[in-house]
Amino acid sequence: MNENLKKPLMLIVDDVEINRVILAQFFKDEYEICEASNGEEALLFVEEHPVSVVLLDLVMPIMDGYEFLARMKRDDRFRDIPVIATTARSENDSEVRVMELGAADFITKPYTPAVVRERVRNVMARLENEWRKLEQSAQSQEIVDMRRRIELDALTNLYDRDNFCRKAAAFMQTDAAKKYVIVYLDLNYFKVVNDLFNVETGNLLLRSSAAYLQNVASGVGIAGRLEADHFAMCMPANTLNIDVIIQGLDNVVQSLNIPQNIRFYAGIYPVSNVFLAVAQMCDRAHTALATAKGRYTQRYAWYDDKMREDEIEEHLILRDMAGALAEGQFSINIQPIFNIDTGEDFSGEVLVRWYHPLKEFIPPARFIPIFEKNGFVARVDRFVWEEACKMLAYEKETFGRVIPVSVNLSRLNFYDENLVEYILDLIKQHGLEPWMLRLEITESAYTDNMHLLIDTVARFRKEGFKILMDDFGSGYSSLNMLRNMPVDILKLDMRFLEDIQNDPRARAIVKNVVNLVRDIDMDLIIEGVETKEQLDFLKSIGCKNMQGFLFAHPMPKADYLDRFVHKPEPVKA
């Protein structure tokens, strides 16, 4: 026997010590033996130890065996512990009584070792067999339940994402000659349901919507809940009536007395190859949905050739990005920021450019969002910071002066706990000072992780860096953000300036923002200035630092450095 294996625990309860000693001798090799002299003592022991079996004398002082057995079987914690009664009496009524109280067996004194051991072994074997049957039964049911849980979403009883993809693939491939569609459905403003009502109402809406979609798909297709409020269906193209489905979902929402602006939108992907990964089909249907979501007149959209072209372009960007960075396809442009009082550059903004050998120029609006999604933007940012520092070091050495430039810090960078140290090391390597490299953040980064952003910005400012908030007014602007964010310079988004000469409300907003920024002792840069009319208005309300095509387009590094030698012509008012 392996001595490291722990023996089961046997409790022998008898008020006569010699009886306990005899029984202990019978079982000392198979069990860990403990003893009690009455029922009360035994109960206390059982409460504190994992007893496997009890040998119980029936006639004892304080608490006899009958009372002990009755209490054991009334307690859910102990009722499954087998109890074998021992007594000098052999009357039938004693045996019947202890069996009725739940004893597993009955043995009489004087003890015959072989008989006693066999009785105990039989009881334990029966118990083990019963447990095995229960376990097998439970396992069988658990397997069934587990399979169901694994395949079905717990809330809606629709297939979850993985199993929807698997079932839809099998469904389509059984008759690959048919035309199929994948429909991706999503609620707009679903979070509002939970906020205005409660989570139970939101769950009820999801369950009710799922029941409707299951009914639509029943017999003709597959329905699934991909995540949150996102659903999908796979069905033959000739069975799809998307208008009816949308109307049916509207009816579900109405039946729950949920406001009408909570509604479903759909994207539809016509399957061209049933052997394509269903997850990719869902992605394409979701791409189509994104073009429809938020509209009121058109609640669904079909995946089309333009979306396919964009998808191919995104794939090529993802394929080529790492090689492009290694091969030097990225470069920096600088757009000067002009001070109309001095007639000189106030600073510059460093912008990344990608010149692909085959596709030539790829606009940042195409690749930056993709890089932000997959995290590659952090590597590109570091390239831009390095190039900006090289340029500033060249200015310092060649011209003996430096015009500060700003570089962008993408949201992802703020999750790097070594960000401040990295940029400090970078400027030290190039012999620069913190004021020379300004750091631009977007106001959307504030909504991602406000506390992390504020803490990081505060550390940068403590080291002497100037912080700019870019694109102010583009989406999330709030007075609370202006109060909390420790930034030095605000860049007012160009969209505030659209049609400013014909829009008195736009002029009033810009004027008041300028006054507010001045009152809280921040500097201001107006970006996107393109017309003489915009310039005249901005000068009239006291704006000085401006950026835009009216002054200069973004330019290659060589052209920007040339401005140090040849002072640019001032823009005439």
pLDDT given for residue 239 in this prediction: 95
Q: Which range among 14-28, 263-277, 488-502, 547-561 shows the weakest confidence by mean pLDDT?
A: 488-502
The conformation of residue 494, written as its DSSP 8-state character, comes to G
Task: Check the CA dihedral 562-564-567-569 and report its sign.
Answer: positive
Could you tell me the pLDDT band of residue 151, with boundaries at 50, 70 and 90? Answer: low
Mean pLDDT of all residues in 376-381: 92
Q: Which is higher by pLDDT, 344 or 148?
A: 344
The conformation of residue 491, written as its DSSP 8-state character, comes to E
Mean pLDDT of all residues in 200-215: 90
* Closest residue by Cα to residue 434 from 390, 404, 401: 404
Could you tell me the pLDDT band of residue 254, with boundaries at 50, 70 and 90? Answer: confident
Please say if the pLDDT value at position 185 is more than 90: yes
CATH of 330-562, one of 3.40.50.300, 3.40.50.450, 3.20.20.450, 3.40.50.150: 3.20.20.450
Please say if the pLDDT value at position 83 is more than 80: yes
Structurally, what CATH architecture does the domain formed by 161-303 represent?
Answer: 2-Layer Sandwich (3.30)
The residue behind tokens 């609640």 is: 299
Contact 264, 249 (CB under 8 A): yes
Distance, CA of 325 to CA of 262 (rounded, Å) = 44
pLDDT given for residue 111 in this prediction: 78
pLDDT given for residue 502 in this prediction: 77
Q: Which range among 26-35, 79-88, 237-246, 419-428 shows the weakest confidence by mean pLDDT?
A: 79-88
pLDDT given for residue 567 in this prediction: 66
Could you tell me the pLDDT band of residue 77, with boundaries at 50, 70 and 90? Answer: confident
Q: What is the residue-averaged pLDDT of the chain?
A: 85
Query: pLDDT per residue over 23-55, tens digit each?
Result: 888 888 889 999 999 999 999 999 888 898 999
Contact 427, 434 (CB under 8 A): yes
pLDDT given for residue 423 in this prediction: 96
| % of the chain residues with pLDDT over 70 | 87
pLDDT given for residue 4 in this prediction: 47
Q: Which range among 79-88, 137-146, 239-248, 546-555 shows the weakest confidence by mean pLDDT?
A: 137-146
pLDDT given for residue 89 in this prediction: 58
Query: pLDDT per residue over 504-560, tens digit each?
Result: 888 888 888 888 888 888 899 999 898 888 898 999 999 999 999 999 999 999 999
Q: Which CATH superfamily is domain 9-134 in?
A: Response regulator (3.40.50.2300)
Q: Give the distance, in angstroms, between the CA of residue 324 and the centroid of all CA atoms in the same chain.
A: 30
pLDDT given for residue 72 in this prediction: 83
Query: pLDDT per residue over 275-317, tens digit each?
Result: 888 998 999 999 999 888 767 678 999 998 888 888 878 888 8
DSSP alpha helix (H) spans, 331-442? 364-374, 377-399, 419-429
Domain locations in the chain as residue ranges: 9-134, 161-303, 330-562
Distance, CA of 537 to CA of 194 (rounded, Å) = 45
55: β partners: 12, 84
pTM of the model: 0.61
pLDDT given for residue 1 in this prediction: 37
Mean pLDDT of all residues in 94-98: 69
| % of the chain residues with pLDDT over 90 | 41
pLDDT given for residue 144 in this prediction: 47
pLDDT given for residue 476 in this prediction: 54
pLDDT given for residue 573 in this prediction: 43
Which residues, at least 6 apart from 212, have a Cβ–Cβ distance to it below 8 Å? 248, 249, 252
User: What SS3 class is residue 530?
Assistant: coil
Please say if the pLDDT value at position 564 is more than 60: yes
End-to-end Cα distance, the chain: 101
Contact 504, 526 (CB under 8 A): no
Mean pLDDT of all residues in 96-110: 76
Give every strand in the sheet of 53-57, ordered side by side: 32-36, 9-13, 53-57, 83-87, 105-108
Query: pLDDT per residue over 385-394, tens digit each?
Result: 999 999 999 9
